[in-house]
Amino acid sequence: MPCADSSSSIVLRLDGAERFVAFDFAKITCGKEISARTEYSSYCRGKGLKEILKIAYAQASADLGIDDDEKRFVLYLEWDALRSAIAHYLGIEDKDVDNDRCRISAISHDEDGSEVAMILLPPKGMPEILPCRLAD
């Protein structure tokens, strides 16, 4: 299932203090749309952007109780995309975050906060996830 055959999109929503509110993430892959469905957005709600960058994938997976390979794969995509988008938005360079894959397509701001839309190129690396027939 893991593949890097298309770009993704992400929209970050931040409150007036630039704290995380939510994100929308979508990736079309293998003829199937993958969108945020692991509760990772809720997990990050209210956190500062730099705080989110410090969340390890394994910790997020454990905290969210994800034990299904497909959900782990989707969480990885969300986790990696959100970290890349935040680092790009903040102008942070970190060897563990690939912010070069992001392209900001729109930014809007009003009294409630900001919304940042980005296109994401495929990640350089994917987690090793075994096919179901090999995982047993």
Expressed in percent and rounded to 5, the helix, strand and coil fractions of the chain are 35, 30, 35
This prediction has a pTM of: 0.79
The reply to whether 59 falls in a domain is: yes
In the predicted structure, residue 1 carries a pLDDT above the cut 50: no
Report the chain's mean pLDDT, rounded to a whole number.
82
DSSP 97: B
The reply to whether 3 falls in a domain is: no
The total number of residues written for the chain in this structure? 136
CATH code assigned at 100: 3.90.1010
The reply to whether 100 falls in a domain is: yes
At residue 95 the predicted structure's pLDDT band, cuts being 50, 70 and 90, is confident
The beta strands (E) that lie in 16-110 are given as 20-29, 32-35, 102-110
